[in-house]
Structure 1
Amino acid sequence: MLLFWAMARLLPVEPASAMGRWFGRKVVSRLGDSRYMRANYRVAFPEAGEAEITRLIRKSWGNLWAVLAEFPHLGKICDRSSPDPRVEIENHAYLEELDRTGRAAVFFTAHMGNWEILGGLMPAMGRPLTVVYTPQSNPLVDAMVQYWRQRQGMKLVEKHGGIRILLRRLGSGESIGLLVDQRVDEGEHVPFFERSALTTTAPARLALRTRNDLVPVRVERVATARYRVIIHPPVSPPHEEMGTDKQALEMTRQVNGIFERWIREEPGEWLCLKRRWAKPGKELKEKRKKKRRAA
């Protein structure tokens, strides 16, 4: 991995990204563990044949390794002073409204396109952003990833145990960014592609508790190392009479629905390396176990 990053760093940004995509599609897709990716695609696209699923898996591996190759070049990709910016922004007016009001937002996105762009873009525009992250299993790889993130001005908070920090940041008018499309064992059962899937309700709860918007941000890859960032309208909170738990659950249903639409439009850019749904027959056991823990 470190050799790969060393090569990517020596190359200009476009050749580095292209090298990563080629390596992911042609090499890693054949050698890597794709069993969960295949299982996830089968659930999300039951009408797809095995050949089509294999094509999507190769494309997903290619996108992942393009993202990895772009890590050393995040500064160039997110640079807003360039006469030819690599990132175009749709609905920039929403960010300007936050600036005028001094309010914060709970931004969320999925593992699509290059999900690191959101965290690098906001500080590049002079907008502080705290990013919630999960440490990598390899300490050396984790150190490199955090180094490049911090170089872009991202403020990092580890996923477990960072709620108080996030509440303080939101309370002080600083926005946060989260990736929330993957399975969370302590999450709630929420429909996703018409199947129940354990999903975190933390983003909705943070938005409700601090009375800030819950805002979907889609990062689309439009060309090699070039992106479109779309800031969608905030997720609508239900009536307060429902109570916080039901409000958070309903907002999370909306979040999963948003992700479904994105994934259906660009399935090959969805990173789904980990199992998203329970194995057949285990879903009921998960629900019973969750009820026992809540009792």
Structure 2
Amino acid sequence: MGGHASAEGKPPAATRAAAGQGMATRRGAPVMTRLIGWLWWLLLPIRKHLAVANYRQAFPDRDPGELRRTVGEMVMAYVHLLLGRRAVVEGVELLSGGGIIVAGHGTNWDIALISVGEQVPLTIFVKPPSNRLAAWAIERWRRAAGVELLPPHGSMAAAYDALDRGRCVVFVQDQRHNKGIAVPFFGRPALTSPAMAAMIWRTRRPVFGTWQWCDRGRYRVRVERLPWPVPDDRDEAIVELTARSQRFYEDRIRTAPHGWLWLHDRWKNAPPHCEDPLGEDPRGDGASSTGAPAPPAD
């Protein structure tokens, strides 16, 4: 798969040059990340006020300036994707038989999606970006990785078919769904799609969680099995499993708050109150909902 070593046991010059270039890119990434973050913060503050408000609600004791790193890492991840960078995926072998995946919008979301999609067949519901050039480029990257793209509405039959074909169906549950149900997310009601929970209840297929982060310039993804209990009653299962998806995100976001995209209006239009079907307060200790350690922060 790689280049053959020379007689002296050294990798060929092209391989050494590529490795050196990759190392240089990683070393320069923190500087570029900070620069991009400051440009957004001072000159192009798109959704800055919304992001700061969201961040302060969830983490009143933290500095909202950490959001500069959020935007910087997001932009640099697409630069690295363009340069061919990929993430190291831990636990990808768990997905070999297909199943249902809970995934979220970390700052290096597309690198994670494409890195997993190049190793196992993925099907995902997507809403293209409003920018036509960005939408074209991202769709091209995703399809080249073998990721099957479904429109966000009217595609559940195709998703069930994908599951029957042994593919992994990916649900990204950390964005607002205006026709969804209200469950707690960082202590506030958040409208969330019930479609993932309905599929879990109907099929009883394995459920996996994926999360991604950047570790000193290297992208990483962790896959884990989520042994969520499934109530027999459908309505109860829908609410409980949807709430578990939000607890999954919350536990991981708490380990590295800058690593999630706070720029979405996640809590808009939700009712002022909702019950916690899990009957627990958010722990806030960074523990995984499965008991496994959460990804480390940088």
TM bucket, shorter chain? 0.7 to 0.9
Instruction: Report if aligned partners of 2:117, 2:147 keep a CA contact under 8 Å in 1.
Output: yes
SS, match of residue 210 in structure 2: strand
Cα distance change of structure 1 residues 143 and 25 upon mapping to structure 2, 3 Å threshold: same
The normalised TM-score by structure 2 is 0.76
Q: Does 1:228 align with 2:233?
A: no
Q: Does 1:283 align with 2:271?
A: yes
How many angstroms apart in 2 are the aligned matches of 1:285 and 1:268?
A: 27
1:239 is aligned to: 231
How many angstroms apart in 2 are the aligned matches of 1:271 and 1:92?
A: 24
Stretches of structure 1 lacking an aligned partner (at least 5 in a row): 1-11, 79-86, 287-295
Q: Does 1:172 align with 2:165?
A: yes
1:108-123 equivalences in 2 (<5 Å): 108-123=102-117
How many angstroms apart in 1 are the aligned matches of 2:199 and 2:112?
A: 19
Deviation, structure 1 residue 285: 10
1:157 aligns with one of 145, 150, 158? 150
Sequence identity percentage: 26
The normalised TM-score by structure 1 is 0.76
SS, match of residue 116 in structure 1: helix
How many angstroms apart in 2 are the aligned matches of 1:245 and 1:153?
A: 34
1:37 is aligned to: 51
Instruction: Report if aligned partners of 1:204, 1:214 keep a CA contact under 8 Å in 2.
Output: no
1:1-295 equivalences in 2 (<5 Å): 14=25, 21-30=33-42, 31-33=44-46, 34-48=48-62, 52-53=63-64, 55-73=65-83, 76-78=84-86, 87-95=87-95, 99=96, 103-125=97-119, 127-224=120-217, 226-240=218-232, 243-278=233-268, 283-284=271-272
2:10 is aligned to: none
How many angstroms apart in 2 are the aligned matches of 1:220 and 1:212?
A: 27
Deviation, structure 1 residue 250: 0.5
How many angstroms apart in 2 are the aligned matches of 1:114 and 1:38?
A: 20
Quick one: which amino acid aligns to residue 230 of structure 1?
A: R
Deviation, structure 1 residue 39: 1.4
Cα distance change of structure 1 residues 20 and 177 upon mapping to structure 2, 3 Å threshold: farther
Structure with the largest fraction of helix: 1
Cα distance change of structure 1 residues 111 and 214 upon mapping to structure 2, 3 Å threshold: same
How many angstroms apart in 2 are the aligned matches of 1:152 and 1:93?
A: 17
Quick one: which amino acid aligns to residue 195 of structure 1?
A: R
Cα distance change of structure 1 residues 144 and 18 upon mapping to structure 2, 3 Å threshold: farther
How many angstroms apart in 1 are the aligned matches of 2:258 and 2:216?
A: 14
Instruction: Report if aligned partners of 1:170, 1:210 keep a CA contact under 8 Å in 2.
Output: no
Cα distance change of structure 1 residues 42 and 18 upon mapping to structure 2, 3 Å threshold: closer
